Amino acid sequence: MIGRRRRELNLTQDAVATRIKTSTPYVGHLESSRRHPSDKIVTRLAEVLGLDSRKLFFLANPETEALISAQPERAEGSVSAWDQFRKNEQLQRIHNVSNGELELLSQVTRLGEIHSPRDLIYILNAVRHALGR
């Protein structure tokens, strides 16, 4: 999808790399799915290519969508969405969650019940977007 859209816009890999502030080989790796971009790169890439950043992120990181789309039913006494998220180091690594962001999300959970770890990712990305990260 990235390579096709780049070609539709008559852009070279070098031009895209310059605009998203990365290397030309990295753009090639993204196009061939050998690398998975961070949310910052996805945002820049979506802007340059005129694509939806959420859709692009999930296309570039299909395992992430599977991880956050799983919404197990919460039975009485089961683990909260916050506890699931807090203990899921892989999900935190995938989304580059900092200690400060964990603290922020912890405070958000005090406002009301969060139903799934996916909701916490959504909240985190909304905050990052609002702060221009």
Query: Are 49 and 79 members of one domain?
Result: no
The structural domain count of the chain equals 2
Residue where a domain stops, chosen among 32, 60, 88: 60
Helix (H, G, I), strand (E, B) or coil at 10: coil
- pLDDT tops 70 at residue 104: yes
Residue 51: which pLDDT band, with cuts at 50, 70 and 90? confident
126 domain-assigned: yes
Task: Quote the domain boundaries for residue 23.
Answer: 2-60
Per DSSP, 80 falls in state P
* Mean residue pLDDT across the chain: 85
66 domain-assigned: no
Query: Are 56 and 76 members of one domain?
Result: no
pTM given for the model: 0.49
Which has the higher per-residue pLDDT, 70 or 110?
110
65 domain-assigned: no
- In this prediction, residue 67 carries a pLDDT of 65
Identify the helix (H) or strand (E) that includes residue 17: helix 13-20
- In this prediction, residue 75 carries a pLDDT of 53
Positive or negative, the CA dihedral 15, 21, 25, 26 is negative
Residue 87: which pLDDT band, with cuts at 50, 70 and 90? very high
